[in-house]
Amino acid sequence: MLFGNGRFPAKTPQFCPMNAIRETNFNLPGQTAFYRGKVRDVYTVGNRLVMVASDRISAFDHILPRAIPHKGAVLNQIAAHFLSATRDICPNWLLATPDPNVAIGRRCEPLRVEMVIRGYLAGHAARTYASGLRTLCGVSLPEGLRENDQFPTPLITPTTKAEEGHDEDISREEILARGIVAEADYLQMEAYTRALFQRGTEMAARQGLILVDTKYEFGKIGDEIVLMDEIHTPDSSRYFYAEGYAERQAAGERQRQLSKEFVREWLIANGFQGKDGQKMPEMPDAFVQEITDRYVELYEKVTGLPFVKDQSEDPLARIEKALLTAL
């Protein structure tokens, strides 16, 4: 499989279900810019951003060659749910969601740091810990932890927001020393991050879940710091089932989780971690269906709402009509 700059797969003849949205190429009234991200297609219309959540899926900073039916709608609707539920904590960019796959919001100037916060030793933090390191992004990790143990207090482990290639771990001290973000802005981002994580933790607990770790992206509109993009979705967050968590930890068993980590684990098992020279494995239909099922499960479990699958024969026409009406 060939990839353009290792970021976006070349066109392939692989099967893609009719209702899976691989990409969009709209020409919207007043459109001045377009950017295709890993997952979202972003249109600039005046001082607004139009984000269309495609069904692309990424892991290890690579976009996988198969689109996942309904993934974009799950992503977009979970994000809207949590953005609405956290407006009292932090102002955010979202103005409207005129379609299950579409979010329209205020255009912000991005701050080039992603605020990753971890309540448990899982994922990247667990792999770092297993390698023998006891610091992550300048933050000390306690001795004697096992994978998926809870930290005494949540840890903020930021990364730089890369335009191309991999995001990179970075310490708070280096962020400030390099002037990537002004100190006052960074302190505000830290405060928002902890408050948002606490709210997300409380909302997850009401649904029988544990919010393990997540990330937040911020931007500025004038002097105001604004929460951007999406929050508490399976693309940015990891959840464990609360029931049986303590028993599984005590027994040294794997935790039941709702996240994208199982996709990363499948890729690792098939010899791919996004490193040079590694070939992206082919994704069988059964695994694509499993990803869809897990995303839908996460939506329903996290929000407590039923997920309605779109059955339209032409989802792109549906999205375009909704956009033209909204704009």
Write the secondary structure of the chain as one string of H (helix), E (strand) and C (coil). Answer: CCEECCCEECCCCCCCCCCCCCCCCCCCCCEEEEEECCCEEEEEECCEEEEEECCCCEECCEECCCCCCCHHHHHHHHHHHHHHHCCCCCCECEEEEEECCEEEEECCEEEEEEEEEEEECCHHHHHHHHCCCCEECCEECCCCCCCCCEEEEEEECCEECCCCCCCEECCHHHHHHCCCCCHHHHHHHHHHHHHHHHHHHHHHHHCCEEEEEEEEEEEEECCEEEEECCCCCCCCCEEEECCCHHHHHHCCCCCCEECCHHHHHHHHHCCCCCCCCCCCCCCCHHHHHHHHHHHHHHHHHHHCCCCCCCCCCCHHHHHHHHHHHHC
Residue 298, pLDDT score: 85
Residue 11, pLDDT score: 37
Residue reference for tokens 């740091």: 113
Looking at the domain assignment, is residue 303 inside a domain? yes
Distance CA 59, CA 266 (A): 11
pLDDT band at 291 (very low <50, low <70, confident <90, very high): very high
Q: Span 19-46, mean pLDDT?
A: 93
Which residues make Cβ contacts (< 8 Å) with residue 71, sequence separation at least 6?
53, 55, 56, 57, 291, 292, 295
**Residue whose C-alpha is closest to residue 221's, from 75, 327, 105:** 105
Residue 159's beta-bridge partner residues? Answer: 114, 169
CA 109 to chain centre: 19
Task: Look at the chain and report how many structural domains it folds into.
Answer: 1
Is residue 3's pLDDT more than 70? no
Task: Give me the CATH number covering residue 259.
Answer: 3.30.470.20
Looking at the domain assignment, is residue 161 inside a domain? yes
Domain with 318, as residue range(s), is: 3-8+18-326
Distance CA 272, CA 125 (A): 19
Residue 86's beta-bridge partner residues? Answer: none
Looking at the domain assignment, is residue 13 inside a domain? no
Q: What is the pLDDT of residues 116-168, one digit of tens each?
A: 999 999 999 999 999 999 999 999 999 999 999 999 999 999 999 765 555 78
Identify whether the C-beta of residue 211 lies closer than 8 Å to the C-beta of residue 233: no
Distance CA 46, CA 55 (A): 26
Residue reference for tokens 């375009």: 320
Looking at the domain assignment, is residue 90 inside a domain? yes
Q: What is the pLDDT of residues 208-234, one digit of tens each?
A: 999 999 999 999 999 999 999 899 988
Which amino acid makes up residue 125?
A
Q: What is the pLDDT of residues 244-273, one digit of tens each?
A: 999 999 999 999 988 788 898 999 999 999
Distance CA 287, CA 279 (A): 18
Looking at the domain assignment, is residue 59 inside a domain? yes
**Residue whose C-alpha is closest to residue 230's, from 65, 40, 45:** 40
CA 195 to chain centre: 18
Distance CA 218, CA 73 (A): 22
Distance CA 28, CA 43 (A): 8
Residue 60, pLDDT score: 87
